[in-house]
Every structure is written in structure tokens, then in C-alpha cells.
Structure 1
Amino acid sequence: MNVIEALQWRYATKSFDEDKIVSKEKLDILLNAFNLTATSYGLQPIKLVVIDNKKLQKDLVSYSMNQEQIAQASHVFVICIETIIDKIFIENYFKLVKSTRNTPDEILNPFKNFLIDDFERKTEKEIKEWSIKQAYLALGNLLTVCALEKIDACPMEGFEPSKYDEILKLKSKGLQSVLVLPIGYRAENDFMSKLKKVRKDINSSVLFT
């Protein structure tokens, strides 16, 4: 199955088969895909919380607009943003760059200082909005990799972030939840899996100049 066939196959799963579990091998592929997602400046202001506790999943349903996929899924991914993106955060990123690539300070410092100055000028609201955009990049990447691996998923914005943050103790980790992605395998009786995909004609959604 090529990538276009995989994207044709995928859909927002409305009902998961609770008896089918994503293997560790497949799960590791998704976790690596998340970690390899492109982010602005490479700063990775996002983290992935993986839930594979059925009781916890059931508890979260009531804070997820009663969407039963949360309880049915093999695993639930919660994409979170870092609550503090400051000078220390940026300096730690450049320490990682230096240790990974052996890049000398005289090459790294101009870009590092630019980013520190740039983020110090931003408001908290602007930084949060920027971070959320990176979370959506990760979501899109995960959806594509799920499709290629024949793993079903359902992206969700419809949940109560404050309740997720409280239950998952995210505040103490310096995180806020922004997106939820239950994954697993579609149930045979999920009528949505039988429906044709609805998309605009490519000539109306893609423009050449």
C-alpha cells in the first residue's frame, strides 16, 4: 500500500475493536514518528503522553464529550505543549545540538541568541499559540504514519484540557494537553469505515500560479 492508498484507507474511527491491541513494535514506530516530527526551529516544544490503562481511559470518557473511542482504543495519545519556553529551554536545545553534531559555539551562538531574543519579545499567549501549531504538526504526522502502518486513529479536539491536565498530573510536569488521539483497530460494525471518503476535487483545492 503506497502513501496515497493509505490516506484513502484512513478515516476518523468512530468505534474501535477493544480486543485488538497495537503491538509494541507498531507502538514504537508511532513514538519515533512523533519524536521525528518537524517543528519550528527544531525546538520540539511538545511531548506525548501515552495512556494504556483501561480504567483511566474509561474515566476520561466523561471529559471527552462522551466519545467512547477513548475507552475502546488500544492506546490513547495526548499531545501536550511545554508551558515554559524560555532562555533555559532554548539553551538546552543548543546543548543538544552541540553534543549531537559537534558544532562549535561560534556557529551556534548567533542563531541561539537570535532565538532567545525573539522568544523574550513574545507574549505568553503568542508562545502558546506557536506551541499549539507544533502540536498539530505532530498530529498530522502521526495520522499519516498510522495510516501507513494500518493502525486506525481518531483525532480529537473535543475534550476538557483542564480535566485531562488534572487527572494526568500534567501541571507538575510543566505540560498542557492540547490534542487527543486514540489509536487501535476499527470495529467491524463501525459504519463509517464503509463510507466513501468525501474530499473536494483536487483541482479546486490545489492551485498553481
Structure 2
Amino acid sequence: MNIIESLKWRYAVKKFNTDKHVSEKQLQTLKEAFNLTATSYGLQPLKLIIVSNKSIQKELVAHSWNQPQVLEASHLLVICVPKEYTINEVEKYFELVKQIRNTPDTILEPFKKFLKADISSKSQEELFLWNKNQAYLALGNLLTVCASEKIDSCPMEGFIPEKYDEVLELNKLNLTATLVLPIGFRAEDDYMKDLAKVRKPLTETIVEIS
């Protein structure tokens, strides 16, 4: 299946097959895909929480507008961003650059100075919104990789972040839940399974300037 066929195959699953589970190999692919997601300046201000504990998934249903996919899914992926973001993350990033690329400080210092000044000039609210935008990049990447791997999914914004933070004890990690992605395999009786995908024609969504 090529990538366009895979994207046509994908839809937001309304009912998962509770007897089928994502394999460890498939899960590893999703972990690596998440880690390879493009982010602003490569800072990766994101964490992925992977939940496969059915008791916890069941508890989270009530905090997800009672959407049953949260429990039915093989795994529940929760994309999180820091509650507080500081220039310490910039320091850690450049240490990693030095470690991996062996880039001299003389080359890194101007960019490092710029990033630290840029982040220091922003409020925590501005930094949160900036980081939240990165979470959407990760979600889009995961959706595409899921489709490519024939893993079903259902992206969700409809949940109560504060309750997720409480249940998953994310405050201890300086994290807050931003987006939720149940993954697994579609049930044969999911009413959405065989419906035609509804999309505008390319002439209405694409503008070419030459």
C-alpha cells in the first residue's frame, strides 16, 4: 500500500476490536517516529505517555467525554508538553549536539545565545502555546505512520487535561496532557469502517503559484 492509499485507508476509528493488540515491533516503530518528529529548532519539547493498563484507560474514559475508544484501544498515546519551560532545555539540547556531532562551542555559541534570549523573553503562557503547536506536528506524524503500518487510530482533543494530569500523575514530571491518540485495530462492526472518505476536491484546497 503506498502512502496515498494508506491515508485513504485511515479514518478516525469509532470502535476498536478489543481482541487485537498492537505488537511490540509496531509500538517501537511509533516510539521512534515520535522521537523523529520535526520540532522548532529541534528542541523536542514533548513527551509521549503510552498507556496499556486497562484500569487506567477505563478511568480516563470519564475524562474523555465518555469516548469508548479510550478503553477499547490496544494502547492509549498521550502527547504531553512541559508545564514550565526554561532555558535549561536549551542547555541540554546543545550538550546533546556537542555529544552527537562534536561541534565546537565557538560555532554553537551564537545560536545558543539567540535561543536562550528568545525563550527568556517569552512568558510561560507563550511558551506553552508554542510547545503545544509542536504536539500537533507529532500527532500528524503519528497518524501518518499509523496509517502506513496499518494501525488504526483516533486523534482526540476532547478530554480534560487537568484530569489526565491527575490520573497519570503528570505533575510529578512537569508535564500536562495536550493530545490523545488511541491506537489499535478497527472493529468489523464499526459503522465508520466502510464509509467513503469525505474530502474537498484538490481544486478547492490547493493554490499553486508559478
| CA offset digits 1:163-197 (Å, max 9, x no partner) | 00001000110101000000000000001011000
One-letter amino acid of the structure 2 residue matched with residue 101 of structure 1: R
C-alpha deviation, 1:68, in angstroms: 0.2
Please, which runs of 5 or more residues in structure 1 have no aligned partner? none
C-alpha deviation, 1:82, in angstroms: 1.5
Matches for 1:140-179 after TM superposition, within 5 Å? 140-179=140-179
Retained in 1: the 8 A contact 2:81–2:135? yes
One-letter amino acid of the structure 2 residue matched with residue 121 of structure 1: S
Tell me how far apart the structure 2 counterparts of residues 101 and 82 of structure 1 sit (CA, whole Å).
Answer: 26
| CA offset digits 1:120-173 (Å, max 9, x no partner) | 111111101100000000000000000000000000000010000001000110
Counterpart position of 2:46: 46
Matches for 1:98-113 after TM superposition, within 5 Å? 98-113=98-113
Matched-pair identity in %: 56
Question: Is 1:86 aligned to 2:82, yes or no?
Answer: no
Counterpart position of 1:62: 62
Tell me how far apart the structure 2 counterparts of residues 20 and 85 of structure 1 sit (CA, whole Å).
Answer: 38
C-alpha deviation, 1:85, in angstroms: 2.0
**TM-score in terms of structure 1 length:** 0.99
**TM-score in terms of structure 2 length:** 0.99
Please, which runs of 5 or more residues in structure 2 have no aligned partner? none
Counterpart position of 1:77: 77
| CA offset digits 1:95-132 (Å, max 9, x no partner) | 00110100000111100110000011111111011000
Question: Is 1:2 aligned to 2:15, yes or no?
Answer: no
Counterpart position of 1:123: 123
C-alpha deviation, 1:89, in angstroms: 1.1
C-alpha deviation, 1:90, in angstroms: 0.6
| CA offset digits 1:40-66 (Å, max 9, x no partner) | 000000000000001111111000000
Counterpart position of 2:181: 181
How many residues in Structure 1 have an aligned counterpart in Structure 2? 209
Runs of 4+ in 1 over 2 A off after TM superposition: none
Counterpart position of 2:37: 37
Question: Is 1:136 aligned to 2:136, yes or no?
Answer: yes
SS across alignment from 2:193: helix
One-letter amino acid of the structure 1 residue matched with residue 4 of structure 2: I
| CA offset digits 1:63-93 (Å, max 9, x no partner) | 0000000000000000000122212111011
